[in-house]
Structure 1
Amino acid sequence: MDDLIGMKEGVEAASRLLKALANQDRLLLLCHLAEGEHNVSDLETLLQIRQPTLSQQLARLRSDNLVETRRQGKEIYYRLASTEASAVIQLLHELFCEPRTQVAAEKRETATSR
């Protein structure tokens, strides 16, 4: 019975993480935060997400305990707070981003060697 309770708790946590990742803006945010800490204005410029949308998505990620903040003067910096989210983002990057990056690099290499 304890195994079932533990499994249900794990499933609930996984479900919350997957719901957060199901939004493209939040997924993009988490991908960039996996590379390191960023402030809001950097994220807005990097991701080309309008500030109101960005703030809404960051608030959702904070409420899900996936990101945490620190204040430096007037700037608020965001970073990943969840090792689980970091592991999932890394896996998604390996599955979906690296192959595309490698294919693009191979195409450039082939084009320049002609």
Structure 2
Amino acid sequence: MSIFGTSDAAAGTGIFGPAGTMTGDTAEVSAPEPVAAMQPLIEQTDSIASLFKAMGHDGRLTILCHLRSGEKNVSELEALLSSRQAIVSQQLARLRMEGLVVARREGQTIHYRLADARVPAILDLLARHARAAMQGSEGAGD
């Protein structure tokens, strides 16, 4: 099952319960939003899709998760990701290009931090969904 409960959604399990309601520590969704309420989203689908595409790589998403707690340098990110410097730098370059992180040089060291105010809220939402999915899968074996 994915963190969004997609494989079990039809059966009413995962984080999506019956009739599209959310389970776990998320709010219950009572009715679909009218099209007018979705208009801002519809008008910005290109930029929002670009944001999700940039976040859609596991390495980049992991970097963003670590930067959620504050500024980190490349060496710290290498250790946290158990990855080579070249790979971490490549992913950071993409995140910089997309405007999701900014770099600050201090001598020989480059420090990175989140630059886009939308990212912490999105990461927090994804973390809530992941926790709910994990709690749902723990109870599934009972």
TM over 0.5: yes
Q: Structure 2 stretches of 5 or more lacking a match?
A: 1-38
What's the secondary structure of 2:105's corresponding residue?
A: strand
**The structure with more helix, counted as a fraction of residues:** 1
Offset of 1:99 from its aligned partner?
6.7
Offset of 1:21 from its aligned partner?
1.4
> In structure 2, what is the Cα distance between the partners aligned to 1:76 and 1:65?
16
Could you say which residue in structure 1 is the equivalent of 2:89? 55
State how 1:41-80 maps to structure 2 within 5 Å. 41-80=75-114
TM-score by length of 2: 0.62
Could you say which residue in structure 1 is the equivalent of 2:61? 27
Q: How many residues align?
A: 99
> In structure 2, what is the Cα distance between the partners aligned to 1:15 and 1:33?
21
> In structure 1, what is the Cα distance between the partners aligned to 2:41 and 2:113?
28
Q: Which runs of 4+ in 1 moved over 2 A?
A: 4-8, 97-101
Structure 1 residue 95 and structure 2 residue 136: aligned?
no
Q: Structure 1 stretches of 5 or more lacking a match?
A: 105-114
> In structure 1, what is the Cα distance between the partners aligned to 2:131 and 2:90?
25
Could you say which residue in structure 2 is the equivalent of 1:18? 52
Q: Percent identity?
A: 41
Provide the alpha-carbon RMSD of the alignment: 2.5
Bigger Cα displacement from structure 2, 35-44 vs 90-99: 90-99
Bigger Cα displacement from structure 2, 32-41 vs 12-21: 12-21
Q: Which amino acid aligns with 1:14?
A: I
